[in-house]
Amino acid sequence: MARPGCPPPARRALAAARALLFWALVYSYCGLCACMAGLRLLWSIGRRPGQTFRWAVRENPPACLNDPSLGTHCYVRIKDSGLRFHYVAAGERGKPLMLLLHGFPEFWYSWRHQLREFKSEYRVVALDLRGYGETDAPSHKENYKLDCLITDIKDILESLGYNKCVLIGHDWGGMIAWLVAICYPEMVTKLIVVNFPHPSVFTEYILRHPSQLIKSGYYFFFQMPWFPEFMFTVHDFKVLKSLFTSQATGIGRKGCRLTAEDIEAYLYVFSQPGALTGPINHYRNIFSCLPLQHHEVIMPTLLLWGERDAFMEVEMAEITRIYVKNHFRLTILSEASHWLQQDQPDIVNKLIWTFLKEETTRKRE
C-alpha cells in the first residue's frame, strides 16, 4: 500500500518520462542551433577569413552615455548579495519611483527616451541588471537563477528607500517584471510590460507552437558554454548591430532608428572583456525555473506590443489577459518592432502617461 502523499509508481514514471522528454527536446534543439551557428561561422571564415575574427578595441564610451539630460549615474550595493548595481536616475528624490528593467542585449540606455519623459513627476531609475554593463557580474551561472533576479529588484527597491514603485520591463526585463509583480505584489502599484507575455503564457505557447519555438531558438543556443559569446564577437559584433538595424529584426522604417552613436554605445558596453557572459547566463537557468507555481497578477497592468516583433508572436499578448486579475490594457502597435520603447518612443510615452493617470480601481475590462 502506497504511503499517503506519495504518488503511485505509474504517476512517478510518467513524470520522469515527461521530464526526460523535455530535457531531450531542450538539448536536441540546443545542438541543432549550435550546428547552424557553426555552419554560419564556417561560411563567414570561407568568405572573409581576415575579417571574421577582427573587432575594434573600444576604450572610451561615446558621449551619449554621459549625457546629463538623461540623469545621474549612481551605484548601490546590496547588503545580502554583496553585489554593486549601476543605474541612471532622473527626477527629484522623494517623487514616486518608476523602475525600468531592460531586455537583452540592452542596458540602461535603452530607456533614454523614458528617462527624459517621466522625470517631471517620477524618480525614474533605469537599472543595469545583474551581469550587465557596470553592474557586478557573478561568474557562475547559478547566480543568475530567476529567484536571484527577482530578489535583486526587491533589494534594490528597499536600498533606494522605497517600498513600492511603478515597474516597467521590456523583453527579458519584462519577464522579471512579471515575476516581481507575482511574488511581491505589495511592491508594485502599476505594472507595465513591453513585448513580453506573462511567463506562463510563454511556457505553454512555445510548447504548442513550433513557429514560436523556432523564434526562441536563441534560448536553446544560449545553453552552450562560451560559444554564444564568441559568435557575438564575429565581424566586430555584427550580430549585435544586426539585431537593431536589420530589416528582419531591427527597428522598422517608420520607427526612430538608432543613430551611429547609439549603436556605438551598445558596441562599447558589450565589447568589454567578459561583458556578454553575464547577460547570456540569465538564459542558462531558464529551463530549470519554468513553469511557475504561482501565476496571478493583481495590480493594474498595461501590456504594450510591437506587432512586427521578430522574436515574440503577437497571439501571446491577448492570452496574457487571463492571468491579470485587475484592470488590464493591451495596446498593439502595428508598425513597431520588438524594440518598442526605442522604436516608437513618443507613442509609448503617451500610452504610459494615459495608463498612469487613469483610475484603474475597477475590474479588468
Q: Cite the active site residues.
A: 171, 283, 338
Residue 281 CB partners (closer than 8 Å, separation 6+)? 131, 141, 143, 144
Residues in the chain: 365
My answer on whether omega of the bond before 291 falls inside 30° of 0, hence cis, is: yes
Is the distance from CB of 136 to CB of 84 less than 8 angstroms? Answer: yes
SS3 215: helix
Q: Which residues pair with 297 in a beta bridge?
A: 324
> Which residue is associated with the grid cell 518592432?
337
Distance between CA atoms of 320 and 349, rounded to whole angstroms?
Answer: 22
Q: Is 26 exposed, middle or buried (0-12, 13-18, 19+ CB in 10 A)?
A: middle
Helix axes 9-47 and 227-245, enclosed angle (nearest 10): 70
Count Cα atoms within 13 angstroms, Cβ side, for 330: 22
Identify the three-state secondary structure at position 124: strand
Secondary structure element (H or E) that encloses residue 191, with its range: strand 188-194
The CA distance from 279 to 264, in Å, is 18
Contact predicate 168/100, CB 8 Å: yes
Specify whether the CB–CB gap between 283 and 222 falls below 8 A.
yes
